[in-house]
Amino acid sequence: MIPTSGPPGSVTVRAPAKINLHLGVGAPRGDGFHPLLTVYHAIGIYDDVTVRPSDSWRLTVETAPYLDVTAVPLGDDNIVVRAATLLADLHGVPAHADVLIRKEIPVAGGMAGGSADAAAVLVALDRLWGLDTSDEDMFRLAAELGSDVPFALMGGNVLGTGRGEVVESVRGGDVVRWWVVVTAREGLSTPAVYRRFDAMAADASPRPSPPHRLVAFLADPVEAITGLLHNDLQEPALDLRPELRDVLAAGEKAGALAGLVSGSGPTCVFLCSSADHARGVAAGLDGVGEHVLVANGPVAGAHVVEHA
Ligand code: ATP
């Protein structure tokens, strides 16, 4: 059981990776952001953020062996630092904590790992510092930090509008989907993928393509959604990383129901019909990409797993 009172010695919060079952992207708005209509789906690949009391700020990062720890910044450019500063400023408290991020989510992989860390540290520091921040303030800070951060607080299946930061739960939260995830050795820059989108889709409508049919079938058997997965950033990502076409083809050959690039890539994800099917597809993809993982979704958003 997780105690909820008394000053904690440490708090650990777990936050999931996301994939976009549908990612409709419109032409850039006046403020430079692209309007999105997206269906987020949280899957069971996690970053854990542990915070401890301290009289200064310290950030440490550890990663799973398949990730490059040097790709994660340790200074002010880590989104966790920005998240801690925003939360501390809101309440007028010093941003003092000893923070450890343990990463499983691919870095610059199109799975919103940084956003997961930001959501996790907001929840963890709120508890550590005894702030009791309202949900409204939490979601406002999250949206300020990044388009995917409000979703990382929620988890599940979520419709994202605006630039992705306006979030609303959708159906299918209790229907388990199985995925095989193929990571890449080198990440892709999200802004670079959007720039390629702008170059390739110069006539894009300002209104992103809607996921009506997908949302209608989200609670149905897996075959109903197989043909409805869609990602407007897939072609730009493939244009920047042509070898991902081979990864997608390998997934199809290994028997996946459907494959797609996750968000801005380069991670590729493959929909399967069961845990056994996913393990079989994963075995068929052995040696493809940097690392092959099996995960299910949807899973919970940022949540406390340890409060010692
Ligand atoms: P997006 O949410 O734009 O799809 P992504 O999932 O592709 O992003 P992230 O892993 O969130 O990529 O990281 C994008 C970049 O942000 C990294 O290349 C890194 O330089 C920087 N970064 C800052 N903080 C973090 C963090 N806590 N974890 C990972 N990367 C971070």
Instruction: State the DSSP string of 17-76.
Output: EEEEEEEEEPSP-TTSPPPEEEEEEEEEEEEEEEEE--SSEEEEEEE-TTS-GGGS--ST
- Cβ–ligand 1 contact at 237 (below 6 Å): no
Do residues 109 and 182 touch, judged by C-beta distance below 8 A?
Answer: no
Burial 149-167 (b: 16+ CB within 10 A, else e): bbbbbbbbbbbbbebbbeb
* Measured distance CA(301)–CA(152) in Å, rounded: 5
Do residues 255 and 216 touch, judged by C-beta distance below 8 A?
Answer: no
Compute the CA torsion angle 143, 59, 57, 3 (nearest 10 deg): 70
* Measured distance CA(236)–CA(201) in Å, rounded: 9
* Measured distance CA(292)–CA(286) in Å, rounded: 7
- The per-residue pLDDT for 2 is 52
Do residues 262 and 238 touch, judged by C-beta distance below 8 A?
Answer: no
Which of the residues in the chain have pLDDT under 50?
1
Do residues 232 and 200 touch, judged by C-beta distance below 8 A?
Answer: no
Q: Specify the fold of 1-308.
A: Ribosomal Protein S5; domain 2 (3.30.230)
- Cβ–ligand 1 contact at 184 (below 6 Å): no
- The per-residue pLDDT for 8 is 74
- The per-residue pLDDT for 1 is 47
Q: How many angstroms does the Cα of residue 261 sit away from the middle of ligand 1?
A: 17
Q: How many angstroms does the Cα of residue 96 sit away from the middle of ligand 1?
A: 23
Q: How many angstroms does the Cα of residue 228 sit away from the middle of ligand 1?
A: 27
- The per-residue pLDDT for 5 is 57
* Measured distance CA(276)–CA(292) in Å, rounded: 15
For residue 183, the surrounding DSSP H or E stretch is: strand 177-183
75 CB-contact burial (10 Å; exposed 0-12 / middle 13-18 / buried 19+): exposed
The residues assigned a catalytic role are 18, 148
Mutate which of 67, 85, 107 for ligand 1? The one with the most ligand atoms within 8 Å of its CB, which is: 107
Which residues, other chains included, contact 140 with Cβ-Cβ below 8 Å and sequence gap of 6+? none
- The per-residue pLDDT for 39 is 98
Which atom of ligand 1 lies at the shortest distance from residue 263's CA?
4
Report which of 288, 43, 283 is spatially closest to residue 179, judged by C-alpha positions. Answer: 43
- The residue count of the chain comes to 308
